[in-house]
Amino acid sequence: MSRLVMKFGGTSVADLERIRRVGRLVAEEVATGKQVCVVVSAMSGKTNELVAWTDQAGAAAQGLAASDDEYDVVVASGEQVTAGLLAMVLRNMGIDARSFAGWQVPIIGDDSHGKARIVDIPPANLDAALEAGQVAVIAGFQGVTEGGRIVTLGRGGSDTSAVAIAAAIGGQCDIYTDVDGVYTTDPRIEEKARKLSRVSYEEMLEMASQGAKVLQTRSVELAMAHRVPVRVLSSFIEPDAPEDVRAANGTLVCDEEEIMEKRIVSGVAYSRDEAKISLFGLPDHPGVSSKIFGPLADAGLNVDMIVQSHARTEGAANMEFTVGKRDAARAQQIMQGLKAEIGFEDIAVDDNVAKVSVIGVGMRSHAGVAKAMFSALAEKGVNIQVISTSEIKISVLIDSAYTELAVRALHAAFELDTL
């Protein structure tokens, strides 16, 4: 019997009316004879409210906030409410359903509070519920450590819960959200953005990590590693909508081989969550980079783009790198503390920057993508501060005031509106 995990994000369960609509979508799948697990987020806005409470309770003041084990106890609670409510709604519709908190599944996580990784999901309890014909409604975002403490999986973590459960029970994963799929770029910036009917795991991973908010990055990593077929689709299309409207709903995230029509560039992503740190007047000798990036890594800070250049003066260099906006102050503090040891002259932090990326598996076999990208930006007068590339992606750091302009220019340059 085929198995399906359906995941519903915060806007899809924002109130009881929407939870009933979710109930109808679940009932439809149950009626086709599938064994169904449902993973739910907290009602939209709930997690932010809970996070604010933990700040007020003093965790932030102690510098603990998201790494405190009690933070997880508080912020995990939103998902438990929606799991219970959806199970009740399903029962009222005559469907046998029960809720599962993370610890009841169990979803076992490591003990990095606030951003735990899933270590294991023993499937026995879910198997038993499914074989007994029950719908298992599971609280997303949360798990339990080996030591029995509640952990959460990082913001947006319900996507990861859903994909991990699909991998554990052997099924497909449908991620229901408030948009009908993955777009060539953010439709709020470029109205000509087109929905992709399919996107490869690799491209989706780059899109998510380069700023597209539709799926949590870790969920894509997991889907790719376990080859879980993932569909992203809208929960706002009613089960009784016309057949063609329903058929057009969704993007399938799948293996590259399953995509017939390959394009050089599939999407343009952007992120304003960046800050650039520049170190001037560094000594130019072996070991300097490790003195800079070692301590940042030890502090758990993620460095993204890096450029080093030679300064005019003999034996001196400059280094620029980017971190998440939230980490900029920390990174600056760490660098200041090591000023003498590293031996730089000056430091500057700029958080008026944005990263814009073009992504596509077709780049592997096509030269000239960088050239097309840089000339499209030059034509619009957009100055490039830092460049980084991978096999299937080119990213540039620019002044954040030009974000929309750059996204639109690139979307047009790679003819994504005519997909």
To ligand ASP, the closest distance from the beta carbon of 419 in angstroms equals 29
The CB-nearest residue to Mg ion is 156
Decide whether 98 or 155 has the Cβ nearer to ligand ASP: 155
- List the one residue out of 45, 20, 382 whose CA is nearest residue 235: 20
To ligand ASP, the closest distance from the beta carbon of 342 in angstroms equals 36
The entry of ligand ASP, Mg ion, none near residue 171 (CB within 5 to 8 angstroms by kind) is none
Decide whether 42 or 359 has the Cβ nearer to ligand ASP: 42
To ligand ASP, the closest distance from the beta carbon of 41 in angstroms equals 3
Residues in 7-26 at the binding interface with Mg ion, rule: CB under 5 A: 9
The entry of Mg ion, ligand ASP, none near residue 47 (CB within 5 to 8 angstroms by kind) is ligand ASP
Judged by the rule CB under 6 A, the positions of this chain that interact with ligand ASP are 9-10, 41-42, 47, 78, 140-141, 155-159
| Tokens at 262, concatenated | 């390959």
Decide whether 157 or 250 has the Cβ nearer to ligand ASP: 157
The entry of Mg ion, ligand ASP, none near residue 143 (CB within 5 to 8 angstroms by kind) is none
Identify the DSSP state of 183: B
Decide whether 79 or 320 has the Cβ nearer to ligand ASP: 79
Decide whether 19 or 376 has the Cβ nearer to Mg ion: 19
d(CA 128, CA 53) in angstroms, rounded, equals 37
The answer for 138, left when phi > 0, alpha when psi is -120 to 50, beta otherwise, is: beta
Phi, psi angles (nearest 5°) of residue 118: -75, 130
Strand ranges in 121-266 using DSSP code E only, listed in sequence order: 135-139, 142-144, 150-152, 172-177, 198-200, 230-234, 251-254
Decide whether 47 or 54 has the Cβ nearer to ligand ASP: 47
- CB 147 within 8 Å of CB 111: yes
To ligand ASP, the closest distance from the beta carbon of 176 in angstroms equals 12
- List the one residue out of 120, 113, 161, 195 whose CA is nearest residue 9: 161
The entry of Mg ion, ligand ASP, none near residue 138 (CB within 5 to 8 angstroms by kind) is none
Q: How many residues bind Mg ion (CB under 5 A)?
A: 2
To ligand ASP, the closest distance from the beta carbon of 9 in angstroms equals 6
d(CA 176, CA 49) in angstroms, rounded, equals 23
To ligand ASP, the closest distance from the beta carbon of 109 in angstroms equals 14
To ligand ASP, the closest distance from the beta carbon of 92 in angstroms equals 24
To ligand ASP, the closest distance from the beta carbon of 222 in angstroms equals 14
- CB 237 within 8 Å of CB 178: no
Decide whether 156 or 181 has the Cβ nearer to Mg ion: 156
The answer to whether residue 156 forms part of the interface with Mg ion (CB under 5 A) is: yes
Residues 6+ apart with CB under 8 A from 347: 277, 278, 279, 280, 332, 335, 336, 339
| H or E element, residue 109 | strand 108-109
Long-range own/partner contacts, residues 283-289 (CB < 8 A, 24 or more apart): 283/315, 283/316, 283/317, 283/343, 284/310, 284/315, 284/316, 284/317, 285/315, 288/317, 288/319, 288/342, 288/343, 289/319
Decide whether 23 or 140 has the Cβ nearer to ligand ASP: 140
The entry of ligand ASP, Mg ion, none near residue 155 (CB within 5 to 8 angstroms by kind) is ligand ASP
Q: Which residues pair with residue 226 across a beta bridge? A: none
Decide whether 157 or 360 has the Cβ nearer to ligand ASP: 157
To ligand ASP, the closest distance from the beta carbon of 386 in angstroms equals 29
Identify the DSSP state of 367: S
Amino acid at 33: G
**Residues in touch with Mg ion (CB under 5 A):** 9, 156
